[in-house]
Structure 1
Amino acid sequence: MTVHQRSGAERNPVPPVSRPATPANIIRTADEAIEVAKTLAAEFEKGASERDRDRIWPVSELDAFSQSGLWAINVPKEFGGADLSWVAINRVITIISEADPSLGQIPQNHLGVVSAIRTVSERPQQELLFSEVLKGARFGNAFSEFGTKRAAEFNTKFTDKGDHVLVNGRKFYASGALLAHFVPIVALDDEGRAWYAIAERGAEGLSVIDDWSAMGQRTTLSGTVTLENVKVPKTHLVPGYKGYERPTADGAIFQVIQAAVDLGIARAAIKDTIDFVRNRSRPWVDSGLEHAYEDPYSIQAVGDLVLRANAAEAVLDRAGLTIDAAVAAPDATSVAKAQIATAEAKVLTTEIAIQATNKLFELAGTRSTLAEHNLDRHWRNARTHTLHDPVRWKYAILGNYYLNGINPPLHAWS
């Protein structure tokens, strides 16, 4: 069994990958980013079903993705990046996720950390870390932990050793960490404040284990990360907690990328529904029709799905606009607007992802459930990914804001 394909039962640490020999492309405009995303998506789509079915790691695809320059599109212009709007970034993630939502999810934490560096780091640290991103470095993540009572609680800590820190702990849900070049670790200092300790993927004491066994999003390169006296230079110690001590767009940014992934899943399911109904499904026996695509109930259902996906996309665009405003001028009002618009997008993209991936089988018929088609991957991906940050709490945030004037809490899940 090669590094490209693992059983999920493998418990040995996975060795780090080498960085590409040449620097990544630098994208300059939103139009360029969208065209690059479409070109990549056309290639990523070809093997997406096989990668899901056999859990084949997207090694070459990920290199193409990060080398394309799309992983650096939120680096500020003053540091050499494109600093694209969040409307454009969300569209890029949606395009990639429609082709392969695992690939769409992998850069989520990378983009979030890049944004956090912009928010909380001093200029020398920004120059250092942004230069790595522009060259094509991929940040994975080691944020969440399995053994804590709540998602926002951490046992992982670091010890100050002068010019560096030593990090100890254990992480899970580490999307992208297997094939990352750096692994940002959420670790607490002596005061209980959360920092991003950005460790080299090959740092001594840092192990990533391929034990991700979820039914969906199977190739997000996640798993367990163990940290035993991992040395991180203070140049790579980012004070992430500062992004939540005052109103900033950091939380909304981490959230909105999730919504873009879900919209991509919905788009893929609708596309495959239309293809199957037009080319494979049989008309119902009582319909008197020659073709399944003439069924008025199917016509109505597809129209409803596309309408809801378009509405979700419009609200996602609106969320991007409010995030751009909050990044440009962060205060309690602008950040709350960004959080609320993002929560609305999260609700609508979650609902259409679940609806579209479920409706696929109802409209396409029994033969669509055959293993040879692997169409259940859409539902598995939607059901797995939409469990991030449950939408039942988004409704509560929205209601409290509109009814009682209460702003959402400031953290990475809001």
Structure 2
Amino acid sequence: MSTELSITESAATAAQRHAAQPVRPATLADDEAALAAAQRLAAQFAPEAALRDRERRLPWDELDVFVASGLWAITVPREYGGPGVRNGTLAEVTATIAAADGSLGQIPQNHFYALEVLRVGGSAEQQRFFYGRVLAGERFGNALAEIGQKDFKRRTRLTRDARGWRIDGRKFYCTGALYAHWIPTLVVADEAGQDVTYLAFVPRNSPGVTITDDWDGFGQRVTGSGSVQFDGVRVEPEWVVPFQRSFERPTTIGPLAQILHAAIDLGQARGAFEAALQFVRERSRPWIDAKVERAADDPLAICHFGDLAARLAAAEALVRRAGRFVDAAQAAPDERTVAEASIAVAEARALTTTISLDAGTRLFELAGAAATLDGLGLDRFWRNARTHTLHDPVRWKYHAVGNFYLNDKLPPRHGAL
């Protein structure tokens, strides 16, 4: 049954309060400080993750703590006052939070995506302004995807006329928009008879913006991934950043987006693996044929845990490796370095997809029937992984990787690889 709920009065009140009073973030000095902050927050977020999932409790307070930590500003370049962390650090921070709560790990994904679009295609003035907004504690959501059509053409339009610039259209899968101060929105504008794509940063409280909390997927339940409607929404020219042009040359927008997806899945796998370890150690009964006193001494269970641990370690290594490739491509973007970054990230995503799903499934096989009790919420790991890994099909990751090594075919440049 679809919830189809407009944003509730309490949520609307919360949105106004958080938009009016953004949390001033701490300043994180470097990568090590970012990793330490993520560990502290994960320990704080984990205890009520199942409750938030079960009750669909929107994590307003948790997001304020998240932003206050300084972690939402870690990709702001040093020359603009941020720590400018490495991409491997960004991925590890994301995985650490996602292991504690998959929704909280995903909510800032498009915030960092928008910052990369800004870094690649924004003017110095736009970078200075929006980096400053992030350093002041403001959050970016997203309004990128559209549904209802079989093609991938965008129909949300940016119109320029004597009355100014305005946006009309409807978006879905708008993760984070519900919680955002700004909603980066993919729009098309007519230029000499051709549609050209831009990313428009829209203030979430602008007249004509309607956010509907109608996300009712069985996983990632509190990501706020619902709908945004734009009805004649005014935008200033300085809020509109070139997007299409950033894919007409080699840039790291695609690899950056995809390493974040890999990190979210890696975190889901870690969370499921740790939950399985704890349950089997503390609560599971050994199978009678094992002839042992503790489930943790069951030799077949031990083998399964060994297999999961090895593949989880491999996924972690591939994500770290992919981060180094993305760093290199950002430092010297050309056709080859960006392609190599895309392939390294595709390799990581192939493995993080499979291990996140497998860890969520084998949790129950190893823990036993008692683990299925609804109050425990252990099914959230598989539901979250299954939902998030559908973002784009893993079969095309294998195709891109195989075609690169076998035929030296460079992968396509777009935001989905």
TM-score, normalized by length of structure 1?
Answer: 0.96
Amino acid at match of 2:41: L
C-alpha RMSD of the superposition: 1.3
The answer to whether the Cα contact below 8 Å between 1:148 and 1:155 also exists between their aligned partners in 2 is no
Give SS of 2:195's match: coil
Separation in 2, partners of 1:122, 1:321: 26
Change in 2 beyond 3 A, CA 1:162/1:339: farther
Q: Among residues 5, 10, 14, which one is paired with 1:10 in the alignment? A: 5
Q: Which residue of 1 aligns with 2:224?
A: 221
Amino acid at match of 2:182: F
Instruction: Please say if 1:292 is aligned against 2:288.
Output: no
Q: Which residue of 1 aligns with 2:25?
A: 24
What is the correspondence of 1:308-327 to structure 2 with a 5 Å cutoff? 308-327=311-330
Separation in 2, partners of 1:287, 1:301: 14
The answer to whether the Cα contact below 8 Å between 2:143 and 2:186 also exists between their aligned partners in 1 is yes
Separation in 1, partners of 2:256, 2:23: 29
**What's the offset of the Cα at 1:22?**
4.9
Q: Which residue of 1 aligns with 2:345?
A: 342
**What's the offset of the Cα at 1:9?**
3.7
The answer to whether the Cα contact below 8 Å between 2:156 and 2:188 also exists between their aligned partners in 1 is yes
Q: Which residue of 2 aligns with 1:4?
A: none
Amino acid at match of 2:3: G
Separation in 2, partners of 1:144, 1:57: 22
The answer to whether the Cα contact below 8 Å between 1:65 and 1:71 also exists between their aligned partners in 2 is yes
Instruction: Please say if 1:231 is aligned against 2:244.
Output: no
Separation in 2, partners of 1:164, 1:112: 27
Change in 2 beyond 3 A, CA 1:409/1:204: same
Instruction: Please say if 1:244 is aligned against 2:247.
Output: yes
Q: Which residue of 2 aligns with 1:259?
A: 262
Separation in 2, partners of 1:125, 1:68: 24
Change in 2 beyond 3 A, CA 1:99/1:197: same
Instruction: Please say if 1:129 is aligned against 2:130.
Output: yes
Change in 2 beyond 3 A, CA 1:235/1:164: farther
TM-score, normalized by length of structure 2?
Answer: 0.95
The answer to whether the Cα contact below 8 Å between 2:102 and 2:220 also exists between their aligned partners in 1 is yes
Separation in 2, partners of 1:164, 1:215: 41
Q: Among residues 365, 381, 388, which one is paired with 1:378 in the alignment? A: 381
Unaligned runs of 5+ in 2: none
Amino acid at match of 2:225: S
**What's the offset of the Cα at 1:161?**
3.7
Q: Deviations over 1:212-264 (max 9, x none)?
A: 00000001012111010111111110111122110101101111101000000
Separation in 2, partners of 1:89, 1:286: 46
Separation in 1, partners of 2:330, 2:163: 31
Q: Which residue of 1 aligns with 2:187?
A: 187
Unaligned runs of 5+ in 1: 1-6
Amino acid at match of 2:234: K
What is the correspondence of 1:114-193 to structure 2 with a 5 Å cutoff? 114-150=115-151, 152-161=152-161, 164-190=164-190, 191-193=194-196
The answer to whether the Cα contact below 8 Å between 2:186 and 2:198 also exists between their aligned partners in 1 is yes
Amino acid at match of 2:220: Q
Amino acid at match of 1:183: I
Amino acid at match of 1:300: C
The answer to whether the Cα contact below 8 Å between 2:22 and 2:138 also exists between their aligned partners in 1 is no
Give SS of 1:310's match: helix
Runs of 4+ in 1 over 2 A off after TM superposition: 11-23, 161-164
Change in 2 beyond 3 A, CA 1:36/1:284: same
The answer to whether the Cα contact below 8 Å between 1:163 and 1:233 also exists between their aligned partners in 2 is no
Separation in 1, partners of 2:403, 2:22: 51
Q: Deviations over 1:46-67 (max 9, x none)?
A: 1100000010000100111112
Give SS of 2:250's match: coil
Separation in 1, partners of 2:224, 2:156: 21
Give SS of 1:227's match: strand
The answer to whether the Cα contact below 8 Å between 1:148 and 1:154 also exists between their aligned partners in 2 is no
Identity of aligned residues (%): 44
Q: Which residue of 2 aligns with 1:48?
A: 49
The answer to whether the Cα contact below 8 Å between 1:172 and 1:223 also exists between their aligned partners in 2 is yes
Give SS of 2:170's match: strand
The answer to whether the Cα contact below 8 Å between 1:163 and 1:234 also exists between their aligned partners in 2 is no
Separation in 2, partners of 1:22, 1:379: 33
